[in-house]
Amino acid sequence: MTNYIAVDIGGTRMRAASYTADSLIPLKIDRIKTRKKNSLPQERLKKLIESVWPDEGEVAGIGIAVPGPVNCAAGIIETAPNVPEISGFPIVSYLQAVYNVPVYLGNDANLAALGEWKFGAGRGHNYMIYLTISTGIGSGVILDGKLFSGAQGYASELGHVLAVTDGPVCSCGIPGHLEAVASGTGIAKWVAEQIQNGAETSINPETDDSGLISGAAIAAAANQGDALAVQAFKRAGKYLGQALADFLHIFNPTIIVLGGGVSQSYDLFADELQAALQAHLMMPHFAKDLTFALAELGDDIGLMGALALARESTC
């Protein structure tokens, strides 16, 4: 029996699971914290993989989703802002030496796109744009029936393109990126600014570790009709629609899939997104046969993407 192992490395937790060649139900599944005092993440990763190693049959490949840009050919994580210990670490050669099994590495957002395309909302499409809108905006693109990753594996950073000239500074340091205005963080920062400027609102003012009101609290208030919260989502939708029009000009896909926490509030910004998209299209044929869908795989998307990568046996 041929099996595959999928690993999803997040800033907070690592998950791993083993699967047969033709099922999405894990044989074994486990999760641990990514970081712990006096223990390197790569050592913890090794133990995690061992804990889900199947009891029978061989392992034909290990797929790993990591939070950061990946140099696919070299098998290293270029930078992982949330897990600095693995930045630049040759994770592929390290694990291949330990297990003598092919190891494939992918950026988490790219693999989420691959997962949605293989097992979720994007099935049957050869050209797909996937955006995951949560703390940041990650993305992945399927072109001509393949995950697109560019010459060195860095491609499709669609959250990091200009959305507003001289707009708010993005997590990457550049002003005005889409992520800075339309991610959960972008929405929460805008709300904080409005409140500071005296806007009245019923949004629960509690802030989380990042010093910001949670997206969930803003969504809850918007669903109760709070004007500021409603406006916060509409504003994000407008920027998303405008950016998606450009992405249609660039990629000419047949489907756009939206995932991530913010997309769960799609109803709050769908009208503005669709209106801005139409208003920014250079010609209507770019949206003629376009499907819009919400991601289907939920919390399992990291594992599903890593599994798809391992089964595809390519990076």
Judged by CB under 8 A, the stretch of 17-25, 93-101, 198-206, 277-285 that binds a copy of itself is 277-285
The least distance separating a copy of itself from the CB of residue 169, rounded to whole angstroms, comes to: 12
Instruction: Give the sign of the dihedral formed by CA 102, CA 107, CA 108, CA 111.
Output: negative
Using DSSP, state whether 39 is helix, strand or coil.
strand
Contact status: 249 vs a copy of itself (CB under 8 A):
yes
The least distance separating a copy of itself from the CB of residue 136, rounded to whole angstroms, comes to: 11
- CB–CB of 217/168 below 8 Å? no
Which residue type, as a one-letter code, is found at position 168? P
**Choice between 101 and 174, CB closer to a copy of itself:** 174
**Choice between 49 and 243, CB closer to a copy of itself:** 243
Contact status: 149 vs a copy of itself (CB under 8 A):
yes
- CB–CB of 19/306 below 8 Å? no
Judged by CB under 8 A, the stretch of 12-20, 40-48, 160-168, 215-223 that binds a copy of itself is 160-168
DSSP class of residue 269 equals T
Contact status: 124 vs a copy of itself (CB under 8 A):
no
**Choice between 80 and 295, CB closer to a copy of itself:** 80
The least distance separating a copy of itself from the CB of residue 298, rounded to whole angstroms, comes to: 27
Contact status: 108 vs a copy of itself (CB under 8 A):
no
Contact status: 235 vs a copy of itself (CB under 8 A):
no
Cα distance between the two ends of the chain: 23
Enumerate the H helices of the chain as residue ranges. Answer: 41-52, 91-99, 108-119, 178-182, 184-196, 215-223, 227-251, 270-279, 301-312
**How many chain residues interact with a copy of itself (CB under 8 A)?**
51
User: In this structure, are strands 291-294 and 255-259 parallel, antiparallel, or unpaired?
Assistant: parallel
Contact status: 148 vs a copy of itself (CB under 8 A):
yes
Contact status: 250 vs a copy of itself (CB under 8 A):
yes
Binding letters toward a copy of itself, positions 178-217, x by CB under 8 A: ----------------------------------------
The least distance separating a copy of itself from the CB of residue 144, rounded to whole angstroms, comes to: 8
| Residues β-bridged to residue 141 | 129, 148
The least distance separating a copy of itself from the CB of residue 19, rounded to whole angstroms, comes to: 28
d(CA 146, CA 26): 25
SS3 track for 95-162: HHHHHCCCEEEEEHHHHHHHHHHHHCCCCCCCCEEEEEECCCEEEEEEECCEEECCCCCCCCCCCCCE
Pick one of 252, 271, 298, 313: the residue that binds a copy of itself (CB under 8 A): 252
Q: How far is residue 142 CA from its own chain's centroid?
A: 14
Residues found near a copy of itself in the complex (CB under 8 A): 69, 71, 78-79, 126-127, 143-144, 146, 148-158, 160-165, 167, 170, 172-174, 176-177, 242-243, 245-246, 249-254, 280-283, 285-286, 288-289
